[in-house]
Amino acid sequence: MAEREPLPIAQIGEPVLREVARTVTPDELATPEFQTFIDDLIATMHHAKGAGLAANQVFRPVQVCAIEVRDNPRYPYKPAIPLTILVNPVLTPVGDEQFANYEGCLSVPNLRGRVPRFVHLHVHAWDRHGNEIDEVVHGLKAGTYQHEVDHLLGKLFVDRADPATFSTWTEFERHHRAAFVEEARALVARVGS
């Protein structure tokens, strides 16, 4: 089988990134066309080496995002997250504890910044087949979920980040990566994922 052609990824400034994504109906989710779109979303995320990708980012403002971390060269410090599709996700913080997550985005090339994220998060959504997802996620995984679901709300990480922490990827690697990796490892050791 031939490799899927990646979808174009919207870049900051594209109006679709500021749209609130519409809810997906069970009937729509079950169609072969929508399942093909999910396959294309996953293939595009893999091609771009992202930890996640929301439908808005590929010009389709529907409430779907794909998340997966496995041997990702962009995020070698992130714990593995199995391939997860969230449809119509609702995230609810569990407690008030937050951490400062250094984030980047496929729609905001060559920029990173520190974003406050909740450490513990209740996730309610459907998977790609309409089965209920009802779980609590923690740490960096919770941060990744919040980043992707923000896209479905028309938000980018730059909206939540402290502008004083913005850096290019090169300057992040030179000046901030080592300290952040240490913080991330301590968080993972304390709360998991």
- Active site residues per annotation: 148
Mapping DSSP to helix (H, G, I), strand (E, B) and coil, where does residue 11 land?
A: coil
Segment 25-32 long-range contacts (CB within 8 Å, at least 24 positions apart): 26/130, 29/87, 29/126, 29/128, 29/129, 29/130, 30/130
Sheet of 132-138, strands arranged across: 52-54, 64-69, 81-93, 120-126, 132-138
Return the structure tokens found at 13.
């400034």
Both tokens of 97, joined, read: 């504890």
Find residue 137's DSSP bridge partners. 121
Task: For the beta carbon of residue 119, count every other beta carbon within 10 angstroms.
Answer: 21
The answer to whether the beta carbons of residues 141 and 119 sit under 8 Å apart is no
